[in-house]
Structure 1
Amino acid sequence: MAAYETALEDDDEVRDRDYVGSFARGLEVIKVFNRHTPRRTLSEVAEASGMTRATVRRFLLTLVREGYAETDGKYFNLKPKILEIGFSALSSMNIWDIAQPIMNALSANVQESCFAAVLDGDSVIYVARATSNRIMNVGISIGSRTPAHCVSTGRVLLAALPDAEFHSYLEKAKLHKFTPNTVTSKVKLRELVEETRLRGWSIVDQELEISLRSISVPIRDRDGKVVAALNVCCPAERVTPQDINSRILSAMLEASKDITRALQA
C-alpha cells in the first residue's frame, strides 16, 4: 500500500511539473471577452478573471504585441487573429466537414440561420454556421461564446451531462439575467434541463435577447454520444412558437439524424 501511495504522489508531482500555470491564466484572460462584453478595461478583466491588475496587464499587453488583441489605451478587445487558435482545433474535427452541407440544406429548408455549438464550462461556443438567403440573418459568428443557462444549445448540452457533472455546473454557475424572460432560478433551470433530457430538444424564447427565439436538438456521434447541439435561431416577429414546434423541429430532428448517419458511413 505504501508503494502504491508513493506512486500516486509521484504521478501528482509529474502532473504539477507539466502544468504551466501562466499559460492557463492567459487562457482565462482570453475567455473573459465574449459576445456581450467584447471590450473591457484592465480593471474589468482583472475582476472577471480573479487576477491582479498587474498580472492581467502583462497578459493583455502580450496579446496586443502578438496581434491577438488591441487597445485604445483604456479598453481592450480581441482581434480576428484569435480565431486562428480555434480554427486549428476545428479543422482537425472532421465532424464539421460532414455536418456543414447538412446544415446548409437545413438552413435553406427552414429559411433561418443554423448553428452548431459545443459546451465549454458554463458557456457554449458556436463552432459551425449556415445562413439562409434572407437579407437579414442572426448575427452569431463562429467562435462566439454565450452563457449556457439561457440558450437552447446550452440546455441540450447540459442535459447530456452525467448527473454529477450537471450538479457541479449548477453549484458553480452564476445565472445572470439578460432579459425579463431569462431563467435565473437554479431549481427552475434544473427542471428545464430535465425536461430537455426527456423530450430530446429545447426551445428558448427571448432569454438571451429580446426578439430572438431558438430551438436546439442534440448531434450524436456514431456511438450515440452527444457531441454538439444543432441550433436554429429565429426573429420572434417572424417565427411563432407554433412554427418552431412543427415545421422547424421536424426538419432539425431529421438533419441531426442525417449527420449521425453520415458519421457512421
Structure 2
Amino acid sequence: MSTPEASTPDFVSALGRGLAVLECFGPGREKQTLTQVAALTGLSRGTARRFLLTLAALDYLASDGKLFWLTPRVLRFSHGYLASFGRAEVVKPVIQAVSEQLNESCSMAVLDGAEVVYIARVEARRVYSSRIDVGSRLPAHASSLGRVLLAGLAEDALDAWLARHPPQPWTARTITDPAQLRARIVEARRQRYAILDGELELGARSIAVPVQDATGRTVAALNIGTSAARAPLDQLRRQFLPVLRAAAAEIGPGFTGW
C-alpha cells in the first residue's frame, strides 16, 4: 500500500496520507503497530506517528500505547454512504425475501476500483456461514457482481479499467486473459446477467443482475451465491434469474447515484 499522490494543485496531500493510514486497518489487520502502519503506507515513522495520534485524538482510532485499531466512529462514513442511495430501507426487506424464497444468500454490491464492495447482504440459514458481510470486498473480475457492474461501464471506461487492473488468478478456472474477460463482460451486458462457476472459489457459483436507476444506469448489482453441489447451472438461469430480476426492478427506480 502506498500513499496517494496527485499532480493537481487542488490535491491535499496531508488528507490523502491520513486516509491511507485509516485504510491500513481491515480484515487480517485489525490492530497495527506504528512500524506496521509506516511500512504499509510508505510514510516515515515520525509522519505515521503524527497521523495515528491525530486520528486517535479525533476518536477514529484507539490505542493501548503500542497497538492502534479502528473505533465505531468510522461507521459514520459507511452510514452516510449507504443513506446517500435513497430508499435504503427498501433494500434489506427485498433481499431478505429473495434469500428466503431461494434458500440462498443474497447480496448487493457496488464497484470500487478493482473490487466490489458489499453494501447489503442476507445470509441463508445454514450450519456454516460465509465470511462475507457488509463492507467485504471481492475482486471484480472473478465475481458475478463484478462482471455485471463492469458491464454497466461505457466502452472507454471499461477499456481503461481493464488496462489498470490486469486480472489475477484465484483458481484454475479464473479468466485471466484480458480479451477473453472483456468478451465475457460484453456478454453479461447483452444478457443482463452474469454467471460465474468456480472462478473465485472452486465449487462455488453465483449469478448476478444489474440494479439500474430510473435512467437505466447501473448503480449496483444483486446476486445469489450458492455451490455447485446445491444448484446446477440450469437452475441458476431457470429459477434464480427471474427472482433476482424482479428484486432488482423493485429496488432500482428509487436508487440515487453518487
In the alignment of these two chains, the number of paired residues is 248
Is the CA contact 1:40–1:77 (under 8 Å) kept in the aligned structure 2?
yes
TM-score (norm 1): 0.78
Q: Which residue of 2 aligns with 1:89?
A: 81
Q: Which residue of 2 aligns with 1:204?
A: 196
Is the CA contact 1:43–1:53 (under 8 Å) kept in the aligned structure 2?
no
Offset, 1:110: 0.8
Which of 240, 246, 257 in structure 2 is aligned with 1:254?
246
Which of 5, 9, 12 in structure 2 is aligned with 1:16?
9
The 5-angstrom pairing of residues 19-168 of structure 1 reads 19-31=11-23, 51-54=42-45, 55-56=47-48, 58-59=50-51, 63=55, 66-68=59-61, 81-168=73-160
The SS at the match of 2:206 is strand
Offset, 1:240: 2.5
Amino acid at match of 1:212: A
Is the CA contact 2:212–2:253 (under 8 Å) kept in the aligned structure 1?
no
TM-score (norm 2): 0.80
Q: Which residue of 2 aligns with 1:243?
A: 235
RMSD: 3.2
The SS at the match of 2:9 is helix
Offset, 1:93: 2.5
Uncovered stretches (5+) of structure 1, i.e. residues with no partner = 1-12
Amino acid at match of 1:101: P
CA distance in 1, matches of 2:35, 2:229: 39
1 or 2, which has the higher helix percentage?
1
The SS at the match of 2:235 is helix
The SS at the match of 1:116 is strand
* Segment drifting more, 32-41 vs 113-122: 32-41
Superposed CA offset, 1:18-55 (max 9, x none): x3222123334444555577677878766765x34535
| Cα distance change on mapping 1:33 and 1:154 into 2, 3 Å | farther
| Cα distance change on mapping 1:120 and 1:262 into 2, 3 Å | closer
Superposed CA offset, 1:95-143 (max 9, x none): 3222221111111111111111111111111111123333444331111
Amino acid at match of 1:83: L
| Cα distance change on mapping 1:42 and 1:173 into 2, 3 Å | farther
The SS at the match of 1:213 is strand
Is the CA contact 1:70–1:79 (under 8 Å) kept in the aligned structure 2?
no
Offset, 1:263: 5.8
